[in-house]
Structure formats: C-alpha cells, structure tokens
Amino acid sequence: MMIELVPPGSSTIHRAVESVLETLMNGNTALPTHVLIDEGDRSWLRLAAAWPVEVRRRTVLVTASDESLVDALSLEIGGAVRLPVSTPSMEAACESAAALDAAEAVPMATQGVLDTLVVESSEVLVVGWWPQAFWQRQMGPIRPVKWLVEIAERLAIIPVILPGPILFVAGRRRAEIEAVWIGAEDRPGPLSFASAPRILEFSPSVISVDGEVRIDLVLSATAAGQDDAVAQLEINHPVLEIPSGRRVGCWSLSRRTADDGSPWHAVPRRGEGGGRWWEIVSADGSSELIAESTSLDLDDIEGQRVIRVPGFFGAASRSGSPAGLLIEGLARDAGRAGRPIWVPGVDGDGVRFLLGLPGPIWVDGPGVPG
C-alpha cells in the first residue's frame, strides 16, 4: 500500500483504516499520501506540524476528538474521518483532501526574497485585511493568501507574502491595486469576497535601514497603520437563513453601518479575542452578547439565541473536511436544542453542503446573495 499511516502501528484502528483503504484502492477515489491516526496522545499533531503545508493538505486525519478536528483545521489538514471509520466516510475525506490545490500553498517571504525582488521606488505599499486577528479568525489560513497571490499575479509582480498575511508591493500605485480588485467583481474567482483588502502606503525610509528594506520594519509599520485602515472600513454583510432564504440580520465591524432594515445587527467586541465575542443589537435597541463556539458542548453557550462558529470553519465547509464534520455535529446538536447555528464566510460549495444538514442555519459570505 502506497499510503503511509502515521504514526505506524498495528492497533484495531490501524487495521480498520487499512481495510477501508484497500477497498477504495479498487475504485476511482483519489487517495491521500498520508493518513494520520489519532489515538488520543496527540502524537499525530506533533508530527503533522513539521510537514510542509502542501503535504498536510493532501492528508486525512482519523479521530474521535472534536478538539483534534479544530487542530486539523488550523493545520489545513485536507480531510477527516470520525471513528469508527467507514468506507463512505473515508471516501468523502479523501475527496476533500484531493480537492485542495497543494500548489496554492505559498510560503512566507524571507529577508533574502525581499532583498532580491524589491526595487527602488518612491511608493511602497502593503495590502491586507485589518484588524488582522479578526480577519484571520473569519477567513482562515487559506483564503487571504490565495487572494493576495491573485492580486500580485494581476499586477504582474512576484507575490511577496509576509506574515499577517500581507502582500508587499513596490513599483505600483494604489490605483493599480484598487483596479485589479474592482475588476474582479464581475467574474467568478477567489476574489469574490464582500470585504475588499485595505492598502497602506509607506515612505521607503520608514521600512528600511541604510536603503535595505527590512521585514521587521515593514511589519511594525503595518501594525502602526492598522487603526487608520480599520477606520476606513464601511462593510455590511447580510445574514440569510437556509433553506428559507429569508434575511435574518447583518454584521459589520461597527454600528454605524446598521441602518439597513435588518431585524438585528451584529458587531465583534473589540478586545475580546479577535472576534470570539459578538454583540447582537436588535431593531428595538436591546442587545445580547454571544460567544463563538468550536465545541459540541452546548452547556458552554447556554441561553444564546444562536451558535456562531468561527469564520474559518465556514470557509472550509465541505463533506469529509474537518470543518464539515464539526459543523455536522453542531447542526445536529443545535437542532435538538431548538437553536440555529450561524456559519459565516461560506462560498457556493459551502452553501450546497449546508443545505444537506438539518436546519435552520444562518449563513453569510461570498456564496450568499447580497
């Protein structure tokens, strides 16, 4: 068998996984190169964290733990199976892993890359989403990098991606960057997200020493300019209920964009863990605080009107994915408790996946009509 089980062993779980994989090898399923076995000691996590991201995306995790599924999502593990393993569940996980394009993995630029590619310019700009902690939790690790790389390709420059993530741009004007984003709105693709990235502009003297641009100075200058970028944001995302399609509310980064006639308006609480807490303000002025949840333990969020999952869950909502398995469990348990779940940041494939789960489910994102 060309598939490596990690860590190796001869446990009952290993034998069951090997049997299922042998069955799938006789069909047309695209099989992963690695299958991680979670036997409760977290050893799989230490091993997978050392792999390149393109390998992790082609990997399937077998686990009984919701905590491990959250970790797998953070590591960009492509597929996941809940124990006990079955042929249909493994097939879905393999297809989920195969659907991720390993070539999309772009490493962070090093100082050497910056030294080699940066040209002398009177304008140096960085492109990204702020506040960074909030958007990282909403969009996950894959989408922002993918979009920044596409912006670089449309500008005909080499993508220099720095932690954040942010795109470093030299030798181009602000208007050129804005034009490639606006021009993407009328055609499908990874740029079809309602919140445009922000652009920060610096004098080369601010981010260089003796004429050499330094990564640490770029990042510190970017952090210092985030408040101005956030102050410019005027976004208002509709939240719809499926399968009914009715509009149940909206969310934005501030209350000033709330007047759109929605029954309620949600804003993230600043200083509360980068979007882990939200204030929902109803049309009558009453409000309540809700916590995002990655747990199936509903006692943690007793009394909340809705269970909101982090946005990076929604961005990866697929059958057979770690996010898909978690959301399936949440939808089932929330339905028993008589409450909807709110899955943000979903695309068209995510909406189709969620339509197959017990509802009602609240959704927003690029797959949701404005």
Angle between helical axes of 132-139 and 143-154 (0-180°, round to 10) = 100
Q: Give the number of other Cβ atoms within 10 Å of residue 199's Cβ.
A: 18
Domain boundaries, the chain: 4-101, 111-231, 237-363
Q: What is the pLDDT of residues 293-302, one digit of tens each?
A: 876 665 656 6
* Model confidence at 80: pLDDT above 90: yes
Q: Would you say the pTM of this structure is higher than 0.75?
A: yes
Residue 310's φ and ψ, nearest 5 degrees, are -60, 150
pLDDT band, very low/low/confident/very high, at 339 (cuts 50, 70, 90): confident
Look at residue 197 in the predicted model and tell me its pLDDT: 84
Look at residue 259 in the predicted model and tell me its pLDDT: 56
Average pLDDT rounded to a whole number, residues 190-204: 73
- Cβ–Cβ under 8 Å, residues 35 and 90: no
pLDDT band, very low/low/confident/very high, at 256 (cuts 50, 70, 90): low
Average pLDDT rounded to a whole number, residues 115-124: 73
Q: What is the pLDDT of residues 84-111, one digit of tens each?
A: 999 999 999 999 999 876 556 677 898 9
* Model confidence at 240: pLDDT above 90: yes
Let me know if 232 is exposed, middle or buried by CB neighbors in 10 A (0-12, 13-18, 19+).
exposed
